Structure 1
Amino acid sequence: MSEQKRLLLVSKFAFYPPHWNAFALSCKRYGVRGSVIAAAPPELPKVHQQLGWVESEAASKEPFVDRIEHLPAGSRSSQRRWLAGVLNEIQADHIWLQQEPVEKLSMQVLAHYQNDPRPVIASAVCENLFRRRNVFKRYGRTRRWRRLDALLATATPSIEAIQNAGMPKRVPATPLVAGMEGPTSIPTALDLNELQIGIAPKPDDFVVGFAGRIVEQKGWGVLLEAVARLPETFKVAFAGCGDQSQQLKQRAMEAGLRGRVAVAGSLPKDQLWRFYRAVNCVAVPSMTRPKWKEQFGGVLADAMAVGVPLIGSDSGAIPEVIGSAGVIVPEGDVQSLSRAIKQLAESPETRRRLSLQGRLRYDSEFSMSAYADKVAQGVGLQHADAVSPDLDVGRRVA
């Protein structure tokens, strides 16, 4: 019997549940041994914090895990020496860099294997705006990036951005490599009246949902204006918080909106699933800014997982992520957004079709099962070695 292959995950996000679960599922499904090199994680936005963090001690006890190492503090040269020693000991056959290619740790891994073609190395890319470098630094990055065997991008705009930053176009790039954990069963709808958050929907009302950060670039103001132009039977419910939360609450009390706007704040994930089920559609009206545009939009995958129709702007990755599961409107266009909401309200058949398309799209593109398979294929794991699908993690149950 041949020796098991070894898969190495390198990331400061290694223990963020969607990434860890995709890694775990890949190891189990493809019958490989797993190791992790983790760097200190950054502080996550609240919308991501609610998913928690996998404890490395618990992760180390998984039967497929060989070792877990944490990048020590110290100078760049001392870290480089430490990393070289660990990489030589692990002897990985496949490496998943689940962080941007521009990250220092990613560059150090690529430098270590610059003249060693043996491990297959794939890097994630999520950002879609990269800072310009001078010609010498750009050349240095491009030289390192030539060692990559694959790019695993959240969407096509990320591929285009990293190629503009110097990524060789000969490195194969795959979009829509991202996953979110769906609920284990379709949740019951949350009774918005119970939350006492400013609205009491009636059976004939049409409620638009918004989940995410309450900041300008997420387009909450555009959504309020769009709803204000519609009859009073149209209402909007917000789940999330941010720098402009107080501004949102003040706007909700204006004439034409009073009694039509619910502000729930941040909800625990179990309640957020029920929130999605309580609204008639979810709007993601993000707006591009000089230093930001939508990279993926986890709320899109969430809504698809529970079959909620989507309306999204054309900012960044949104159109590609939504696909056939929703309606796209020009970003910042209040009239188009208002019209799209009204048309969905008037067509139960369209809502049913988008609900079905969303569930199918989640299962095929953004479930943990789909995410793990895309990662495995990106790092060169052979499907012939795959084992029982019963090992799936985070799979949505209808």
Structure 2
Amino acid sequence: KIESNDPEIFFVKTKRSNPRLQKIIGLSSILDKKKPDIVFLDNDPGSLQAVEISKWCKKNNSKCVIQSCENLSFDYKSSFKRAGIKGFLLSFIKNYLNFLSKKNIDYIFTINNAGTEIFKNIGYKNVQKIPLGFNENLFNDFPEKRTEIRKKLELNNTVIAYFGRIVPEKGIHILLKALANLKYLEWTFILDDFELYKNSYFETISNLISELDLKSRIKYIKADHKEIVDYMNASDITVLASISTPKWKEQYGRVIPEAMACKNSVIVANSGALPELVGDAGFVFEEKNIDELAQNIENLIKNQNICSDYKEKAYQRAQKHLSIKSQFEIYDKIFKEIVNK
């Protein structure tokens, strides 16, 4: 629903599907009409959109601000090592497009430490890390929802949860193997019902659940983004056992701050930005280390006072540093600074 005081929305067509090479048809005409003080682009600075927008901003005395999710270095050596000649060619494109846009970009927001370092190292002077804020009115501690869902699903012990895509890089098989080592403890695992993930990894996970004899310990859920908060409130421990690959590592991990905001203790692999999110308010284990993950889960189940302490730590950290409010405060400060320069 569009309110009367909302900014005007322009529905446009695009040319090419690749975000790095995509062109927004008629963009310059819209910018000429509106003449904004700041143009904010949620795309990589090494993109044709960034080149076009930053050039327009320079010509029209506007400020160009970019937000990037990048967390893999695009120097030629690293890129070739990750993906061979294809990686080298992609690195060439990224570097060339950054060369064209860099001199006209006023500020870059990143969502992880690696991205901040990458852009500073290639010559960007104004770089600021920012959270991908969660809606604190939606993701929060709701005791009545916890009671309702736990009663509905007949949850009477420690609830361990995974929220997110059912794909290999999220390490669900690692989590299942860790849980299989803890069958002597009282716990329940909640997991998406796989309806949207009928792929080969879905088959792998389904077979693994049977092989490890975990069917009786799992409650399957089906929920959209707004409903997932109820299941997060019903949970005690959220785990993200992500596995980095040569071409990917966690850029952010949005479900972790959301779960923290719902007073979950969190355990994450040391993939990409995940350790940055939890800080000292959660547990970090070595990627693929099943025994270490199992030990962390075991510690929280056996020591409910520790689990409760970390729930509170996670909640406070999420609300203070990772919410939309935190994101807005950074935007507001930086936008005012660059407009007044």
Q: Which residue of 2 aligns with 1:174?
A: 128
1:123 to 55, 66, 80: 66
What are the within-5 Å matches in structure 2 for residues 1-398 of structure 1?
58-59=1-2, 61-65=3-7, 67-73=8-14, 82-115=26-59, 118-129=61-72, 132=88, 133=90, 138-162=95-119, 167-170=122-125, 172-184=126-138, 186-187=141-142, 188-189=145-146, 191=149, 194-195=152-153, 201-202=155-156, 205-230=157-182, 231-239=184-192, 241=194, 242=197, 243=199, 244-264=201-221, 266-380=222-336
Please state whether the residue corresponding to 1:276 is helix, strand or coil: helix
Q: How far apart in 2 are the matches of 1:232 and 1:343?
A: 11
Q: CA deviation at 1:383?
A: 12
Q: CA deviation at 1:259?
A: 1.2
Q: CA deviation at 1:174?
A: 1.6
Q: How far apart in 2 are the matches of 1:379 and 1:119?
A: 12
8 Å CA contact 2:158, 2:186 repeated in 1: yes
8 Å CA contact 2:237, 2:265 repeated in 1: yes
CA pair 68-272 structure 1, distance change in 2 beyond 3 A: closer
Deviations 1:97-144 (A, max 9, x none): 12222332222101223455x323221111323554465862442231
Q: How far apart in 2 are the matches of 1:253 and 1:280?
A: 24
8 Å CA contact 2:264, 2:314 repeated in 1: yes
CA pair 213-367 structure 1, distance change in 2 beyond 3 A: same
Q: How far apart in 2 are the matches of 1:134 and 1:256?
A: 46
Q: How far apart in 2 are the matches of 1:383 and 1:357?
A: 37
- Please provide the CA RMSD for this pair: 2.9
Please state whether the residue corresponding to 1:269 is helix, strand or coil: coil
8 Å CA contact 1:111, 1:144 repeated in 2: yes
Deviations 1:256-308 (A, max 9, x none): 424122332x4123431121122221001111012221111111111121111
* Paired residue type of 1:123: I
8 Å CA contact 1:151, 1:378 repeated in 2: no
Q: How far apart in 2 are the matches of 1:68 and 1:312?
A: 39
Q: Pick 1 or 2: higher relative contact order, CA cutoff 8 A, min separation 6.
A: 1
CA pair 80-315 structure 1, distance change in 2 beyond 3 A: closer
Please state whether the residue corresponding to 2:162 is helix, strand or coil: strand
Q: How far apart in 1 are the matches of 2:339 and 2:55?
A: 29
8 Å CA contact 2:132, 2:322 repeated in 1: yes
* Paired residue type of 1:262: K
CA pair 210-147 structure 1, distance change in 2 beyond 3 A: same
* Paired residue type of 1:158: G
Q: How far apart in 1 are the matches of 2:70 and 2:193?
A: 22
Normalising by structure 2, we get a TM-score of 0.80
Identity %, equivalent residues = 20
Please state whether the residue corresponding to 2:135 is helix, strand or coil: coil
Q: CA deviation at 1:246?
A: 3.7
Structure 1, unaligned runs of 5 or more: 1-57, 385-398
Please state whether the residue corresponding to 2:169 is helix, strand or coil: helix
Please state whether the residue corresponding to 2:292 is helix, strand or coil: helix
CA pair 280-119 structure 1, distance change in 2 beyond 3 A: same
Deviations 1:1-52 (A, max 9, x none): xxxxxxxxxxxxxxxxxxxxxxxxxxxxxxxxxxxxxxxxxxxxxxxxxxxx
* Paired residue type of 2:44: E
8 Å CA contact 2:57, 2:63 repeated in 1: no
Q: How far apart in 2 are the matches of 1:338 and 1:181?
A: 31
8 Å CA contact 1:324, 1:354 repeated in 2: no
CA pair 154-255 structure 1, distance change in 2 beyond 3 A: closer
Deviations 1:367-391 (A, max 9, x none): 222222222223336999xxxxxxx
Structure 2, unaligned runs of 5 or more: 17-22, 75-86
Q: How far apart in 1 are the matches of 2:327 and 2:181?
A: 40
